[in-house]
Amino acid sequence: MQGRRILIGVGGGIAAYKVCAVVSTLAKAGAEVQVILTDSAKAFVTPLTFATLSRHSAHTDDSFWQPTHDRPLHIVLGEWAEVFVIAPLTANTLAKLTYGMADNLLTNTVLASICPVLLAPAMNTDMWQQQSVQRNWQQIQTDSRYHVANPGEGVLACDRVGTGRMAEPEELLPQIVSLLHTHGKRDLTGKRVLISAGGTREFLDPVRFIGNPSTGKMGVALAQAALHRGAIVTLVHAAIEPHLLAPLRNIRTISVTSAAEMQQVMRECFSDADWIVMAAAVADVKPTTYSAEKLAKRDLPDRLPLSPVPDIVAELSTLKQPDQRLIGFAAQSGDIITPALEKLQRKKLDAIVANPIDQPNSGFGVDMNQAVFIDRSGRQVHIPLGSKLQMAHQLLDLVQEIS
């Protein structure tokens, strides 16, 4: 995010307070952030607040109409921005954008820019459901410049329960990162991507299990990246915390626990998928017997009999059609290349992601990652340490290059 240029337009609505978290997070990550407030937005959050959080002066219509710039302010800002975010998007601003109207700094800057624009509406449910608003919302999405974060459901500021809540920062921030990478391309439109994520658990009794430290963050990042690029995504997940799944509103998610359950769901979904990415950390063994009641400590065996679990990716490789792409992961310590190559060849994968788990800020449970991508031709591409969402986009780029 260092030095990336993000322009944020703030509309008049109580949800403007959420934008403070977006601006602060981006600025702390090293991005250059500038903010435009409409006149009505200033009634909810002051320009001083956004200036403090962004480390730049916040722009308003007062500065727009003052002849104090060498070049028109809306031209300067429009040319500067790599990504333009408008949040909260009001019904008024939506109507102006739909019909190409420009009567303030925000709307003039939209017309003076060519970067992708992310729209995050927020309004009362009855306002959102008006035919005119829905017509404008559908119409603006026919313009490829515009990307959307649909409003969610819940208790609104007016005490109404319904649709109209602005998307949370946890949903907006990944979309911004994706737009910076793709420049607004929807290059996976029509692709069906099936992803497994998280760590399976093999239970000995109702409270004890064999598992691993996987949190599923890498699989979630892959699902988000694919969705943001236009794909139809199914995420089969095990042992992922609900807060990580909350932003995945437009992704089909299927929860499983054991390797056998994941095997069944992956097999059922496999034939409909174009790309299959096995990012889950699947157990290798399970307890041979299962007790339906919790075992007393004295009854625990000194030696736990173990049985192998299904090799999901090996089975899927036997079902793979020529037009499908099957990608595996290999979490390794020490030499990560040799075992990954062996797994790639033995399981007849199209590519494998060799992931070091013994390096700082890499592997299980953290927000960063690094890897070596190896495809079936033997090509090796090092992906340097970065966020898991950034790595996910690089992996998707590389999968597209597999012939």
Query: Quick one: pLDDT at residue 321?
Result: 95
Query: Quick one: pLDDT at residue 374?
Result: 97
Residue 343 labelled as part of a binding site: yes
Query: Quick one: pLDDT at residue 403?
Result: 75
Residue 310 labelled as part of a binding site: yes
Query: Quick one: pLDDT at residue 151?
Result: 94
**CATH homologous superfamily for the domain 192-400:** CoaB-like (3.40.50.10300)
Residue 350 labelled as part of a binding site: no
pLDDT in tens, 94-128: 999 999 999 999 999 999 999 999 999 999 999 99
Residue 312 labelled as part of a binding site: yes
Closest to 13 (Cα-Cα) out of 141, 136, 143, 128: 128
pLDDT in tens, 247-287: 998 999 999 999 999 999 999 999 999 999 999 999 999 99
Say how far apart CA 21 and CA 13 lie, in whole Å: 15
Answer whether 5-182 and 192-400 agree in fold: yes
Query: Quick one: pLDDT at residue 157?
Result: 83
Residue 311 labelled as part of a binding site: yes
Query: Quick one: pLDDT at residue 177?
Result: 97
Dihedral angle at the C-alpha atoms of 338, 342, 343, 348, nearest 10 degrees? 140
Q: Residues 123-137, buried b or exposed e (16+ Cβ, 10 A)?
A: bbbeebeeeebeebb
pTM, whole model, 2 decimals? Answer: 0.94
Cα→Cα distances 304→7, 222, 290, 298, Å:
58, 36, 11, 14
Say how far apart CA 374 and CA 225 lie, in whole Å: 20
Stretches in the chain below the pLDDT threshold 70:
67-69
Query: Quick one: pLDDT at residue 67?
Result: 62
Residue 347 labelled as part of a binding site: yes
CATH classification of 5-182 is 3.30.450.20, yes or no?
Answer: no
Catalytic residue among 20, 115, 158, 269: 158
Q: Where are the domains of the chain?
A: 5-182, 192-400
Q: Give catalytic status of residue 158 as yes or no.
A: yes
